[in-house]
Structure 1
Amino acid sequence: MDDEQLPRQEPEDPRPQRVPAFNLPPVILVSLAVLVAVFALMNVPSWSDDTLNWIYFTFSFMPARYAFPLSQQGLEWLWTPVTYSLLHGGVEHIVFNSLWLMVFAAPVARRIGSARYVIFWILSSAASAFMHAALFWGDQTLLIGASGVVSALMGAACRFAFPVTDGRRVSMREAHLNPRLGILGALRSRTVVAYIVMWIAGNALVAFGITLAGDSSQPVAWDAHIGGFLFGFLLFALFDRHPRMEEQEAAPLDE
């Protein structure tokens, strides 16, 4: 009998594997860079009050713009449903939104890709703004911040990021590989429902003036958060590149 030559096994590298500190998709890094750049630009010391007021008026969302004939106004109504999401009022505001963006935008961007992520940002920003406008029709206050988009990303993540896969919980880094749950399937997941309940409770506190994080001196547009969350949760399938796994909805979840 001929001797069989076993494949040579390389010794394992005893050195620990290095994990990148920020393992984020490039489009998320670009998003964060844009937010920081806009914030830095808005805080240039040499800006006069008149210049800052013009910038806020020109790029913030204001419900009153849509309560009058658009033909009698400037063109701000075209871009402000999106550009307001790039503005922030203070350091706490942008830091809080950026942290949540890194957590929830990463799995969504990995799943749907950069181009669809940009489209998702634009449409979820508009959905959040017009939810705010519907409840405060004709109001002349200015809406700024990416919180509505962040809420939409949270809603989208509920459709795929929380399920139990093969009896184990997957990390957020691998969550984009999960099958997409249908709306009813997601609502049958105790993990998703618990998360939604906590999210609603947090926004309810904000609605009553109790701010859990961020700048408590500034009013928070909780209604825009709800508009964004509903957009992401209900319409995520329109952006998803992965087919829905029908058997996933029928399988028991979070047991």
Structure 2
Amino acid sequence: MPLHRRLGRANFPWVTAALILANCFVFFALQSGDERVAERAFDYYRQTGLERIEFPAFTDWLHSRSGDAQTLQVMQHAPDELKLQLLQADADFLAALHADRVIDLAREDYADWHQKRAEFDRIWSSAFTERYELRFSEIDPARLFGAMFLHGGIGHLIGNMIFLAVLGLLVEGALGPVLFLAVYLAGGLGAGLVSLAWRWGEHGAALGASGAIAALMGAYCVLWGVRKVRVFYWFFVVFDYVRVPALWLLPFWLGWEVLNLLLNRGAHVGFDAHAGGILCGALLALGVRRAGWERQDFMAEDERAEQRNDNVARLQQALQHLGKLDIAAAQELLQQVDRDEPGQLPALVALYRCARYAGKPAELDVAARRVLTFDARRGDELRELKAVYDDYAKACDGAPRLSADLLLRLAQSWLRIDLDADAQTLLDTLAAQSPQPAGLDAAWFGFAQRAAENTPQRRARLEFILHQFPQSNFARKAQFLLDQT
């Protein structure tokens, strides 16, 4: 069983949820009265004596047809409820019965039987399940479609819905809602047709969403192909998960269904529909892949997550090497992390430390610039940048080899974490340079406004703007603020 993705707003499977709700609605609302209808129909059938007329007639009918030995054997030993279900599931017998080719018109009780049979048909046909379950040896589009939303009991429903939820989250994400719904319905119809082909000539009925869900299993295997996926498995009391290519699951799942179909015919489980659904889903997914309609980004998420986990382990290992001053080993691991996930701050800082310990100024400058140009958003990231800057400035004897634009950006970053004194040092340095970086006047004006109103500190900063940037728009703003004090 494939392990599901973490559910979120971005990947919420809306169609899968709608299908689950539809199946539950059909079972709890539309099928809820079927058991009472069946009981009422059987009671009427037995009380009116229809069983004494029709059961022998059905047995004679089976004797006259080849290939009905199994049904004939069941009719000899099964309880009356099952006999009635078999009789009602034989579309050919019912057609002959209603065409007066089974009960002799010359019988004295024919009129009485005919009246009672008509009333029984009315009661029996009022059951929702009976109108839409898939009948073997009968092709009916409404039954092929409707049977996908019927279930034989609460356990049947819950089991199917669990698999639908797990597989739906994965396959809907890979196909998108519209294509997913098309594959689900087409796969379910295909599973029903395969079941009819396998059981043609038999008598009985089938229902359940498992054929359509099996189509999702086949589609999952083909869509992910040779990508490795996490699969949960169990064998008696042993259970664990393993990563295998998704395509490996296809012969395993299909083989299991075919094996049970051949060896476990009395299980009353639609192994034929399951196998047909897997095949149909696989073929549909193959067509989707040929057309290039699958969502590659969604399917690659597992690989990216695995890569992230591997890189976390590599980073920890590299830090251990750094602690032992094994610079070459640490650099090799960190460069691999940086290739897989460029621009990750922990890896950039660690690479800076490698360059610092190696004592190579050219490598140190490059490593420092990569860290200090990182787009830090959080306070902890900004403080990490500040620590690297301080260390780099020390290595450069107080004159870091950085561009004026980068120094201005760093000054603004120090203000964001309330390091006003450090920011002013950089702003003073930049003000003494020629040419000055663009935006320095705006930075100084913002710095001035950080001081409390009507304080000597704020006045000094505003006067500095007037003196240093006399032609700037911010000089006029500074003069206006000074005039207000």
TM-score (norm 2): 0.35
Which residue identity is paired with 1:242? E
**Which residue among 243, 256, 259 is the counterpart of 1:202?**
256
Counterpart Cα distance in 1 of 2:129 and 2:174: 34
Unaligned 5+ segments in structure 2 are 1-5, 39-122, 232-243, 297-485
Which residue identity is paired with 1:88? H
RMSD: 3.4
1:1-255 to 2 correspondences below 5 Å: 24-41=12-29, 42-44=31-33, 47-49=36-38, 50=123, 54-66=127-139, 77-161=140-224, 163-164=226-227, 169=228, 191-204=245-258, 206-207=260-261, 208-209=263-264, 219-239=268-288, 241-242=293-294
Give the 3 Å change call, closer, same or farther, for CA 83–237 of structure 1 in structure 2: same
TM-score (norm 1): 0.64
Counterpart Cα distance in 1 of 2:166 and 2:142: 27
Counterpart Cα distance in 1 of 2:229 and 2:198: 39
Show CA shifts across 1:49-102 (max 9, x none).
Answer: 246763222111112223xxxxxxxxxx12111110100001111111111111
Structure exhibiting the larger radius of gyration computed from Cα positions: 2
Which residue identity is paired with 1:33? L
Counterpart Cα distance in 2 of 1:98 and 1:45: 21
SS of residue in 2 equivalent to 1:234: helix
Show CA shifts across 1:179-204 (max 9, x none).
Answer: xxxxxxxxxxx634542343134324
Show CA shifts across 1:90-135 (max 9, x none).
Answer: 1111111111111112221122222222222221111101101111
Counterpart Cα distance in 2 of 1:197 and 1:242: 22
Unaligned 5+ segments in structure 1 are 1-18, 67-76, 173-189, 211-216, 245-255
Give the 3 Å change call, closer, same or farther, for CA 242–198 of structure 1 in structure 2: closer
Cα drift, residue 162 of structure 1:
5.8
SS of residue in 2 equivalent to 1:158: helix
Give the 3 Å change call, closer, same or farther, for CA 123–44 of structure 1 in structure 2: same
Give the 3 Å change call, closer, same or farther, for CA 237–203 of structure 1 in structure 2: closer
- Answer yes or no: is the 8 Å Cα contact 1:128–1:148 preserved in 2: yes
SS of residue in 2 equivalent to 1:64: coil
Q: Work out which structure has the larger RCO, using CA pairs closer than 8 Å and 6 or more positions apart in sequence.
A: 1
Q: For residue 180 of structure 1, what is the aligned residue in structure 2?
A: none
- Answer yes or no: is the 8 Å Cα contact 2:225–2:247 preserved in 1: no
Counterpart Cα distance in 1 of 2:153 and 2:125: 14
Counterpart Cα distance in 1 of 2:172 and 2:213: 12
Identity within the alignment, %: 22
How many residue pairs get matched? 192
